[in-house]
Structure 1
Amino acid sequence: MTTKIIKTESVTETVTTDAGDARVTWHPAKKPRLVLAVSHGAGGGIEARDLQALAAVLPGHGVSVALVEQPWRVAGKKVAPAPKTLDVGWRGLWPTLSEPGLPVVSGGRSAGARVACRTATELGAHAVLALSFPLHPPGRPEKSRAGELLGSGVPTLVVQGGNDPFGRPEEFPGGDYRLVEVPFGDHGFAVPKKADIGQDEAVAIITDGVVRWIASLG
């Protein structure tokens, strides 16, 4: 697939929610048909390689990307709050994310993916993008969160590293969702130097997979 990267001016706005002030950085498409709203995980921010790559590539395919920083991150805290509080922040952001009047694909990486799955039906999300979905805590497969993924209620794409300790692709249950594997990738989609693919190729697998999936959405 040919990757289209269109340079656009990003716009950042602060949004007040019941969980505190959140922040949205928009990467607009020239003629958008969808909005992809994606949030970070519990251990990082919107500088994550997958989020930045999507923000660079998707506007060239008619998708405006909104990178969302949850209130706890904006406040400078280093530890994410309980899942219920994360959901409160996401709900408070939704009117801003849907304001352009376009279908919104709700997404996130890791803990952000769980939020997107839990709230998709309630908020009327068009679909869910789950990056590095934390199927279980590392080494604790019995603590499965598969119910959140399977309960999204909307078309869902999982993009998962082949060596993700929070859940390798082969550990995921059968269900009504698609899964794209990033070979050798860890929870942050980093691949070791000895891997058969390089880091740029790994990132391209993510963006190409998301572009194809979004094109298939009705």
Structure 2
Amino acid sequence: MSSVSVDLPAGETTVSADWVAGTNGSTVVVAHGAGTGKDHPFLQGYADALGALGFSTLRFNFPYVEQGRRMPGPATHAIATWKAVVAFARAQDPQAAVWATGKSYGGRMASMAVAEGLVVDGLAYLGYPLHAPGKPEKPRAEHLADIAVPQLFVEGTNDPFIQPLA
């Protein structure tokens, strides 16, 4: 396990991260959803499957998880964390293509970081929360049009955070 330093408005903090080197020249950085941490079995399985395909992986926690809180902190903290963990991943393998991926909240925060200038080669969302549960009138996707890199959305058919098109 590694620690990644994150510069937050109130000062520096560290988050836990698990780096696994691969062989194919691509890195996938994996963020957890709002109610879990990096060690959730789904995320471990996802990273293991990517590793079996030769990808380097980096799973990490957001600061609120490290602090033992259940609810996410400000988006600015998550965006700062994304910037720090992508920099960490690039330092591990400077030549690798870097993809940001996340479950729900983690993917949304990745997209916001990229919309604000974080450079990655693409984004993959595992259950992107297009709106709050049951509130499709309050979209959380305005910034997605500002993202120039490829974006892959993986959604379930029974996801309360997305209203499927008819």
Q: What range describes the TM-score normalised by the shorter chain of this pair?
A: 0.7 to 0.9
Distance 2:40 2:142 in 1: 26
- 2:46 matches 1:54: yes
Aligned pair count?
Answer: 159
> Is 1:141 the counterpart of 2:132 in the alignment?
no
* Offset, 1:136: 0.5
How far apart, CA to CA, are the structure 2 residues paired with 1:113 and 1:165?
A: 16
* Match for residue 100 of structure 2 among 99, 106, 110: 106
**Structure 2 equivalent of residue 24 of structure 1:** 17
Highest CA radius of gyration, 1 or 2? 1
- Residue 120 in structure 1 maps to residue 114 in structure 2: yes
Does the aligned pair in 1 maintain the 2:7–2:80 contact within 8 Å? yes
SS in 1 for 2:123: strand
TM-superposed CA distance for 1:168, in Å, is: 4.1
Secondary structure, counterpart of 1:143 in structure 2: strand
Matching of residues 1-218 of structure 1 within 5 Å: 12-19=1-8, 20-29=13-22, 31-99=23-91, 100-101=93-94, 102-120=96-114, 122-170=117-165
- Tell me which protein shows more strand as a share of its residues: 2
Local SS of the residue matching 1:18: strand
Counterpart residue type for residue 28 of structure 1? A
Task: Point out where structure 2 has 5 or more consecutive residues left out of the alignment.
Answer: none
SS at match of 1:80: coil
SS at 2:27 equivalent: strand
| Separation in 2, partners of 1:152, 1:119 | 10
Q: Is the 8 A contact 1:119 1:152 kept in 2?
A: no
Matched position secondary structure for 1:17: strand
| Shift in alpha-carbon separation, 1:132–1:48, aligned structure 2, 3 A | farther
Identity percentage of aligned residues: 30
Higher relative contact order (CA 8 A, sep 6+): 2
Deviations 1:71-106 (A, max 9, x none): 211121221102122112222222101111111101
Q: Distance in 1 between matches of 2:31 and 2:143?
A: 17
> Alpha-carbon deviation of 1:63?
0.7
In the TM superposition, what whole-angstrom CA distance separates every residue of 1:151-192 from its partner, at most 9, and x where no partner exists? 322101111111000114437xxxxxxxxxxxxxxxxxxxxx
TM normalised by structure 2 equals 0.87
* C-alpha separation in 2, matches of 1:49 and 1:167: 23
